[in-house]
Amino acid sequence: MKRSKIKDLLHADVPQDSVLVKGWVRTRRDAKDFSFIEVNDGSCLTNIQIVAGGGLDNFAEVKKVSLGTAVIVSGRMIRSAGKGQQWEVAAEKITLLSPAPESYPLQKKRHSDEFLRTIAHLRPRTNKYGAVFRIRSELAYAVHDFFRKKGFTYVHTPIITASDCEGAGEMFQVTALDLRRPPQKEDGATDFSLDFFGAPANLTVSGQLSAEMFALSLGDVYTFGPTFRAENSNTRRHAAEFWMVEPEMAFCDLGGNMDLAEETVKYLIGHILTACREDMELFIRFVDPSLGVKLENILSADFVRLRYESAVEVLEHCGQKFQYPAAFGADLQSEHERYLTEQHFKKPVMVYDYPAAIKPFYMRCNDDHKTVAAMDVLVPGIGEIIGGSQREERLDVLVSRMAEAGLSRENYWWYIDSRRFGSVEHSGFGLGFERLMMLLTGMANIRDVIPFPRTPGSIDF
């Protein structure tokens, strides 16, 4: 007989004569002649209640079953007289598959997120983390659904690359050289011509440059995959390995780009609120009581569109003391982003037209020669969730921007080439998948929405 998923059993309309459940014991309550055992199989948040009676051959052992033990239960699914659940399984046979000793760390009490991070291999067995990772899975599917419905082509951009899209030099190097004795050139520098690719290589910080090539061929495309940053920032919203959703559209300007960004965020939030209702309820009740209202606000708000210059003006005149005062020419700090979205506008804000000097080479220069057609989407509680821009499609401007940024033309010959043949206006953005997860669940630390997070000094699991 095939096992039933608890999720399906709990949705049943009628009792069932014979069901087979496999899962892990979450709680046990003993009465005189029987025990109630709650079993969870990960298919949904809710456990199924197993009623184990004295008639079972192994009742003496079942009565002592410890939390975390793996079990197989067969029996009848009947209406439950107890409150809190509609169905329960009257066990006819319970096999104790694999016990979990008393040292099992997930005993019945509340554990802090910090503690659970130290047992990241076990935390998906808790209610909260099971819910986080079911939502994460659904969110990934929703990303594909959304872009597929809009006629975007999904492109697999490379993970190993020789380019540095953001130009920030925050890359993990990839090498097959023997690091104890790397080959050297005459001047003592490492000779990468003898390395695997014949040149220095690194893990990608963004799939954008490759995605642009496909947008200029297939029109509307997106890439969605892992990206890597060796930035040594130990904050609650930075990870060394994170996933990014990156659409790229030909024949699209900055305004169209902002339209898509707003639509994407709203679609994904709306989808999760309905598709993951039960799991979302947990976050709304126990993680952030204002979460439901916050998400509804985002769905119903028109995102503010504000030039960078005006954003700086708001920040300069708001009377709020910041650790880093806002000033034209400096990047917005997370405290600024949060002030704009949480205090001033109380909704998401899209800041655009940033100073060229603080943005990467590929962003399109505006006519004022000072700013570029960049846009960031900022949301309450987190700050930047999306970064994007209209791309520089003019060959001469691009080449001079690259020279200013000190990028070698030889490395990016193919990127420059795209501006020589049928170059058109195009735009795109990167949505931080984990940042969206944080927004959706109210989880305050990026480490808690990634199965096995990678951050400075931490590579366990």
What 452-458 contacts at long range (C-beta under 8 Å, 24+ apart), as own/partner pairs, is: 452/120, 452/121, 453/117, 453/120, 453/239, 453/241, 454/239, 454/240, 454/241, 455/234, 455/238, 455/239, 455/240, 456/232, 456/233, 456/234, 456/240
| Amino acid (one-letter) located at 70 | A
Q: Residue 430 binds which one of ligand 4AD, Mg ion, none, with CB within 5 to 8 A depending on kind?
A: ligand 4AD
Binding mask 386-425 for Mg ion (x = CB under 5 A): -x--------------------------------------
Count of residues touching Mg ion (by CB under 5 A): 1
CB of 60 to ligand 4AD, least distance (A): 52
Q: Name the minimum Å distance from CB 225 to ligand 4AD.
A: 12
Nearer to ligand 4AD, 48 or 269 (CB): 269
Is 28 or 447 the residue whose CB approaches ligand 4AD more closely?
Answer: 447
Closer residue to Mg ion (CB): 229 or 426 = 229
Q: Which among Mg ion, ligand 4AD, none contacts residue 359 (Cβ within 5 to 8 A by kind)? A: none
Would you tell me which residues interact with ligand 4AD (CB under 6 A)? 165-166, 206, 208, 229, 231, 238-239, 242, 244, 246, 384-388, 428-430, 432, 434-435, 446
Distance CA 339, CA 375 (A): 18
Angle of the 254-275 helix axis to the 433-441 helix axis, nearest 10: 50
Task: State the nearest-atom distance from the C-beta of 376 to Mg ion, in Å.
Answer: 6
Give the list of residues 6+ apart from residue 255 with CB closer than 8 angstroms, or none: none
Residue 34 φ/ψ, nearest 5 degrees: -155, 170
3-state DSSP assignment of residue 412: coil
Q: Residue 208's binding partner, choosing from ligand 4AD, Mg ion, none, with beta-carbon cut-off 5 to 8 A by kind?
A: ligand 4AD
Residues 442/443/446/447 CA torsion (nearest 10 deg): -170
CB of 433 to ligand 4AD, least distance (A): 8
Beta bridge partners of residue 362, listed in sequence order:
none
CA dist., res. 450 & res. 417, Å (int): 38
CB nearer ligand 4AD, residue 40 or residue 210: 210
Question: Considering the complex, what minimum distance in angstroms separates the CB of residue 48 from ligand 4AD?
Answer: 37
Among all chains, which residue has been given the structure tokens 């947008």?
215
Question: Which of Mg ion, ligand 4AD, none sits in contact with 229, Cβ below 5 to 8 A by type?
Answer: ligand 4AD
Longest pairwise C-alpha distance within the chain = 84
- Please report how close the Cβ of residue 405 comes to ligand 4AD at its closest, in angstroms: 14
At 268, list the tokens. Answer: 């994904």
From the list Mg ion, ligand 4AD, none, partner contacted by residue 206 (C-beta under 5 to 8 A by kind): ligand 4AD
What Cα–Cα distance (Å) separates residue 399 from each residue in 138, 259, 317, 418? 42, 29, 38, 12
- Of the pair 91, 250, the CB lying nearest ligand 4AD is at 250
Residues 332-391 that bind Mg ion (CB under 5 A): 387
**Residue with smaller CB distance to ligand 4AD, 167 or 182:** 167
149: left (phi > 0), else alpha (psi -120 to 50), else beta?
alpha
Q: How far apart are CA 35 and CA 54, in angstroms?
A: 9
Instruction: State the binding partner of 201 from ligand 4AD, Mg ion, none, CB within 5 to 8 A by kind.
Output: none
Smallest separation (angstroms) from ligand 4AD to the CB of 209: 8
Contact partner at residue 244 from Mg ion, ligand 4AD, none, CB < 5 to 8 Å by partner kind: ligand 4AD
Q: Which residue, 51 or 239, is less far from ligand 4AD as judged by CB?
A: 239
Nearer to ligand 4AD, 41 or 246 (CB): 246
Q: Which residue has the tokens 């239960």?
A: 73
- Residue numbers of the site for Mg ion (CB under 5 A)? 387
